[in-house]
Amino acid sequence: MPTIFAKIIRGEIPADIVYQDDLVTAFRDIHPMAPTHILIVPNKVIPTVNDLTADDEQIAGRMFIVAKILAEQEGIAESGYRLIVNCNEHGGQEVFHLHMHLLGGRPLGRMLGERSKVSE
């Protein structure tokens, strides 16, 4: 079963694509949690961070470089932003096609909100 993101990358379902190259595609999140909320996704299906291998080093690196370029394009490089990669259940991952969230355009608060103690 292709993931929803694989369909977006192939142009089979619409999305606001802001960047695409041979390794990654970036598009705006359908439910933005900040003025800038972009997903940076490998073109190749890698379900989670756990599935990355040494062969994926270039892809993983490209995701960071594209995040940096898009932060500049969005005008949030100086004010700041957050990059998030959720993994599996405790990470809150919903779509099992690796993706990096680029969030910015407003103060984002503490990293984990209220329940941020190690024991919770």
Which residue, 20 or 86, has its beta carbon nearer to ligand 5GP? 86
Q: Rounded to 5 degrees, what angle do the CA atoms 18, 19, 22 make?
A: 155
In the window 52-91, what residues touch ligand 5GP (CB under 6 A)?
Answer: 86
- Number of residues lying near ligand 5GP (CB under 6 A): 12
Q: Residues with catalytic annotation?
A: 99
For residue 42, how far is the Cα from the chain centroid?
A: 9
Which residue, 27 or 81, has its beta carbon nearer to ligand 5GP? 27
Tell me how crowded residue 51 is: count the other CB atoms within 10 A of its CB: 12
Judged by CB under 6 A, the residue of 31, 90, 110, 115 near ligand 5GP is 31
Three-state DSSP class for 57?
Answer: helix
* Binding map of ligand 5GP across residues 95-114, x = CB under 6 A, - = no contact: x-------------------
CA 24 – CA 17 distance, rounded (Å): 11
In eight-state DSSP terms, residue 42 is E
The contact set with ligand 5GP (CB under 6 A) reads 4, 15, 27, 29-31, 39, 86, 92-95
